Amino acid sequence: MSEGRMHIAILEDDTDQRDFLAACLRPLGGGISDFASVAELQRALKEERFDLFIIDWRLPEVSGLTFIPQLRRQLGWEVPVLMITAARSEQDVVAALEAGADDFLPKPLRPDELRARAQALTRRFRRQAVEATLTLGPYRVDAAGRSVTLAGQMIALTDREYALASLFMGHAGELFSRGQLLELVWGIRGDVTTRIVDTHVSRLRRKLELDGRHGWRLRSVYQHGYRLESRQEASQVV
């Protein structure tokens, strides 16, 4: 599919709002499928593939916050999710992101911003994979396959964890603040208060055994962020 053309799924129980969303997104080209319930969308997922999900927070049978984790378990992290809601507090933004949404837009929606967010999300998820692989000691990052192996064994990572691993390993020794990681990996403002970065880094450290035993350590730098260091560099830190 070419840049700017996508198949979008809209999950919104309000008919007027659903029609409005479709009208706003139609200029992007591609296809738009709208659904009034989770059950309708689940039936469609058996036969169709989507490039973007736009999901309303308030749904009649289940909230968007509850459905997004179900969708992630079903599809993984290959397709972006944009949540829309009348709520707009920082706590609401954090709740949406921690549920698995990739972006968050409060109502009333502005057509130009909606289209821009939709395009930005799909661009980020469709970036062409770099053909070369990266080797760091016993670690091998395969950009084409979006996978990481340790001593020849593939490690099961979520899409977010892979993005973090490739970022740290591609920039070993470089310090990344939590705000930078939110912007680079999640594509959201770096000033949002959330523990989601720390949680993912902790899981990544455990899965890839980045505690120094294989020559590399994913280190927390107090009040600054995280850095992947060689064991020699880590031993020099007082």
Kindly state whether residue 1 falls inside one of the protein's structural domains: no
Are 160 and 200 contacting, i.e. CB atoms less than 8 angstroms apart?
Answer: yes
Please indicate, yes or no, whether residues 102 and 15 belong to a single structural domain of this protein: yes
Kindly state whether residue 153 falls inside one of the protein's structural domains: yes
Count the domains in the chain.
2
User: Interhelix angle for 196-207 vs 159-170, to 10°?
Assistant: 80
Average of per-residue pLDDT across 4-10: 81
Would you state the pLDDT for residue 56?
Answer: 93
Tell me which H or E stretch contains 103: strand 103-106
Would you state the pLDDT for residue 62?
Answer: 82
Please indicate, yes or no, whether residues 116 and 137 belong to a single structural domain of this protein: no
Report the distance separating Cα 167 and Cα 177, nearest Å.
13
Decide which of 90, 108, 126 is a domain's last residue: 126
Please indicate, yes or no, whether residues 18 and 74 belong to a single structural domain of this protein: yes
Residue with tokens 């309303």: 56
Residue 91 has pLDDT above 90, yes or no: no
- Check residue 28 and report its DSSP letter: G
Would you state the pLDDT for residue 159?
Answer: 81
Q: How many CA atoms lie within 13 A of 78 on its CB side?
A: 9
Band of the pLDDT at 126, cuts 50, 70, 90? low
Band of the pLDDT at 203, cuts 50, 70, 90? very high
Please indicate, yes or no, whether residues 12 and 121 belong to a single structural domain of this protein: yes
Average of per-residue pLDDT across 72-89: 79
Q: Is 164 exposed, middle or buried (0-12, 13-18, 19+ CB in 10 A)?
A: buried
Please indicate, yes or no, whether residues 199 and 223 belong to a single structural domain of this protein: yes
Residue 214 has pLDDT above 90, yes or no: yes
Would you state the pLDDT for residue 190?
Answer: 65
